[in-house]
Structure 1
Amino acid sequence: MTEVSADLGTGRASVGAVLDFAWTANEFTATDAMAATSLTRSTTIDAIDTLVSADVLRELPNARAAGSYRAGRPARRFALSSELGVVIGVDAGDTHLAVTVADPLDRTLVHHRTDLDSGHSPDERRDTILEQLRLRLEEAGSSRDAVLAICIGVAAPVNRDGISPPHPDGFWERTNPGLAAALADWAPIVDVKNDALLAAVAEASDPRGAAIGCRDYVALLAGERFGGGVVVDGHVLHGAHGGVGEGVVFDHIVGVGSAFGLGPALQDQARRALDDGEIAADGPVGELAASDRVDTRALLGLAASGDADAVLVTGRVAETLARVVGVLGSMYDPAKVIVCGAVAESVEPVLTAARGILPEQLHLPAPELLASALGAEVVSLGAVATARRAARERAVPQLAERRLAGR
C-alpha cells in the first residue's frame, strides 16, 4: 500500500488497502477484499462504499442479475471504474517518436510511431511532441482532462525534476527540450526519464521481459548509441543527474572508443573490412558495405546463415560488445545484461561470439548476455508501465480525494 493511498479520503488506511487490492483483483466481493487486506468485514465494506462514492470503484450487477445466482443472498461485486482516465507513454528518441495512450490497467488504446528530424531545434522538437500528444489523445477519443499520468523517455540523463544537464554539443538539451515544464499542466503526474532506465523497467514488468524475477541486471540500449538502465538489488539506479549507465564512459575504453552502438559498429567494421580487402567486393557483404547505409539487419541475417564475410564482421563487433559488457559487469556486477532495442531482434550472431570473449573481460563471473524480446518498443513499454504505476500510486488516490472533497 502506498503512502498516498493510505491518506485517501477520510485518512483511513483501510481505504488505501482496498484500493491497492482492487488494482489487481479484476472483479471482487467484499469477502475477497477482506481476505486480501485482513480488515474486518464492516471496515472493508465501509472502505468499498467510500471508493464507490468517489466513482473510483463501480458496483457490478449481483450474482442474481448476472444469471449465476443459485441460493442465498447474492454477494455484491465490484471492480475499478472504467472511467478513471488514461495514461500516456512516450519514447522520444533522437530520430523517432512513439506515443501510446492506454487505460490505467492493461489496454492500449492508441500506439503511433513516427520519424523525427534529428536536425530540429529544441523548440521544433518540443512542438512536434506536444502536437503528437494532442493528436493521439484525439485518436483515442480522450482529452487532456482525462490524463492521469505521462511518462516520456529521452536519450539523455534526466534528474529527478525531469531536467537534463548541459551537453558539450547541446544534444541532451535538444533531446529533452524542457519537456517537464511544457507538460506540467497536462497531467497530475509527469515523469521525464532516461530511455535506458525505462527499458530496464520494461524488462522487469512486461511478461516477455528477460529480467522477470531478476534483482541485478543491465538493460543495454545498443542500436545507435550505448546506454544502460541499471538495476542493483532490485532498485533502479539513478544518480544525482540521472547519469547512471550513461554511455559517454565508453569514449574512454580502449577497444570501444565511443558511445556509438552496434548499428554504427557493424557499418564501420563492414566498410573497413571491404577497404582492407578482407571481404569480397562482389559478395553479399561487400555489396552491403559499399552501399550508402549498410543494412545491418541483412548483415546479421547473413551471419546467422553462416556467411564467412558476415561472421568476420560480426565477430569484430562482438569484441567491442564484450568490452562494453565487461565494463558494466565490473562496475555493477549484474546477473544479466540484456541487449535492447530494434537491433535485439537480429543481434544473436554478435551475442554468440561475444559470450565466448566475455569471461576474459572481467574478474567477476560473467553476466548472462541476452537479447531482449521486446524489440523497438521496449522504451514505450517501460514508459507506459511507469505511467500506470504513477496512476495507481498517486494520481488515482488524488482523484478520489478531489471527488470526495467536492461532494
Structure 2
Amino acid sequence: MKSDVAPQRLAAQPAAGASEVFQLLRDGQPRTRAELAQLTGLARSTVTARVDALMRVGLIAPVGGATSTGGRPPSLFALNPAARLVVGADLGATHALVVVADLSGAVLAEERAELSIASGPDSVLGWLCDAVARLLQEAGRSAADLGAIGIGLPGPVEHDTGRPINPPIMPGWDRVDVPGLVQQHFKVPVLVDNDVNIMALGEQAMAWPETADLMLIKVATGIGAGIISSGQLQRGAQGTAGDLGHVRVPRGDGVACRCGNTGCLEALAGGPALAAALSADGKKANSSQDVIDLVRSGDLQAIQAVRQAGRDIGDVLATCVNLVNPSVIVVGGRLAQAGEHLLAGIREVVYRRSLPLATEHLRIAPSVAGQRAGVLGAVSLAIGHVLSPEAIEAAASA
C-alpha cells in the first residue's frame, strides 16, 4: 500500500515507459515534445508515443502552443488535474472531515460532521462512504472518476494493511480491515495512516513543498510526530515512528501515564494533564479548550503551565533534532492554539540543548494548515498513489 512517493525516490528509481515522461509534467509546467526529449534523453519518436499514451488515458492534455521560431508553434503539454479525483478523509476522535479533490490537490467539495470515532467502524465508515457519494454528486462526477481514497485515523495504523492496531481511543477498531470495508462501496485503492503522519504530509504540501526534512508535532490529548526525512515519510517497522508522548522526560519522575509507565511526556504536557494541573490549583479547567481560553484571557498561571509544557516537549525534541536533523519543526494540534507561549518554551530548550550545527538553520513554526492539515495530507497520500510511476505505467499500458 505504498502511497507517498518522494521526488528524491523517483529520481533514484526512474520508471521505464510513459511514467518517465509523466513525472516531468507532474509539476504542471507545460513542456513541448522537444523539451521532454531533451530532458529524458529519449528519441523524439519515443517521446511522442509516450505523450500519446498519456493523452489517451487523460493524464496530460495540450495547453496551447509555444512560441514559434517559424512555421506551426509546437504543442505544449501538462498534467490534466481533472483526469482523476481523489478523496481525503480526516477521521478524528469527535469529528470527521472528508473532501473530494482533483490531481492538483484543489478541493472541489467537502463535508464535515461531529462524529465520534468510538461509534465504531461500521457507523463511521458508513457515514464516510455516504458522504463521498454525496460529494461526487455535488462535484458533478461519478465513482468511475475516483483514483484513490486517503484516510487518517486517530490511532496507530499498520500502514501495509491499513488496519488500526490496539488504538486506545477507538473501541471496536482493533485490526479492522478499513480498506476492505471502504472498497465494498468504491473499487479503488484505499490508503490509511495515522493522523499525525497525514498532518505532516498536509503541512508539507500546503506550506513547505520544497522542504525535504520536516517534523510535524501534534500537541493535543496525546503528543506525536510525523517525520519526513529526505522527502520520505518515516513510519518505522510497524508504523509507530514518532510516538513522542511516551518518551520519558526529566521532570516526570513519579507521574503516572495512561500507558502504565511513569514520567511520559504526555502525562506532563498533554492537554488533559495541563487541565488537571490547573484544576488542582483552583482554576476552572476541564479540557484542553479551557486551558487555551485561560491563556488567551491572560491568566498568568495558565501561561506558565503552557510555557513549561513547551519546555518539556523541547526536552524530547532536542534529542530528535540531533538524531533526525530536520530543517523545519511545525507545531500543530489543539494546544498549538495557545499561541507563542507553547512555541517559546519549545524553542528555549531545543536551541539550548541541540547541537549548534543542527539548529543553525532550524525553523520552529506554528502550523499553517491548522485543522485542515489532516485532510490535506490524506489528499496528498491519495494523489501520491495515483501519480506514482507504477500507477502511471499500469494506466498507460491498459
Verify: 1:221 aligned to 2:218, yes or no: yes
Q: 1:318 to 1:254 in 2, by over 3 A?
A: same
Deviation sequence 1:282-330 (CA, Å, 0-9, x none): xxxx5xx267885344333234xxx534433323433443344356457
- Structure 1: which 5+ runs fail to align? 7-12, 275-285, 403-407
Structure 1 SS opposite 2:48: helix
- Give the structure 2 partner of residue 389 of structure 1: 384
TM-score by length of 2: 0.79
Counterpart residue identity of residue 235, structure 2: H
- Give the structure 1 partner of residue 309 of structure 2: 317
Distance of 1:82 and 1:299 partners within structure 2: 45
Identical residues among aligned pairs (%): 23
Deviation sequence 1:184-210 (CA, Å, 0-9, x none): 35243221011111122223332x23x
Q: Is the 8 A contact 1:91 1:99 kept in 2?
A: yes
TM-score by length of 1: 0.78
How many Å apart are 1:257 and its aligned residue?
5.5
Q: 1:358 to 1:302 in 2, by over 3 A?
A: farther
- Give the structure 2 partner of residue 344 of structure 1: 336
How many Å apart are 1:39 and its aligned residue?
1.9
Distance of 1:152 and 1:297 partners within structure 2: 28
Over aligned residue pairs, what C-alpha RMSD do you find?
Answer: 3.4
Distance of 1:293 and 1:256 partners within structure 2: 16
Distance of 1:77 and 1:94 partners within structure 2: 47
Query: For 1:254, which of 250, 254, 263 is the aligned residue?
Result: 263
- Structure 2: which 5+ runs fail to align? 1-9, 248-256
- Give the structure 2 partner of residue 282 of structure 1: none
Distance of 2:183 and 2:12 partners within structure 1: 23
Counterpart residue identity of residue 311, structure 1: I
**Larger C-alpha radius of gyration, 1 or 2?**
1
How many Å apart are 1:103 and its aligned residue?
0.6
Distance of 2:44 and 2:306 partners within structure 1: 64
Query: For 1:37, which of 23, 36, 40 is the aligned residue?
Result: 40
Q: 1:261 to 1:308 in 2, by over 3 A?
A: closer
Counterpart residue identity of residue 226, structure 1: I
- Give the structure 2 partner of residue 375 of structure 1: 370
Structure 2 SS opposite 1:174: coil
Q: Is the 8 A contact 1:156 1:195 kept in 2?
A: yes
Verify: 1:27 aligned to 2:30, yes or no: yes
1:188-267 matched pairs, under 5 angstroms: 188-206=188-206, 208-209=207-208, 212-215=210-213, 217-247=214-244, 249-250=246-247, 251=257, 252=261, 254=263, 256=265, 258=267, 262-267=270-275
1:98-177 matched pairs, under 5 angstroms: 98-159=97-158, 160-167=160-167, 171=170, 173-174=172-173, 177=176
Deviation sequence 1:354-383 (CA, Å, 0-9, x none): 433456777896775432222111111211
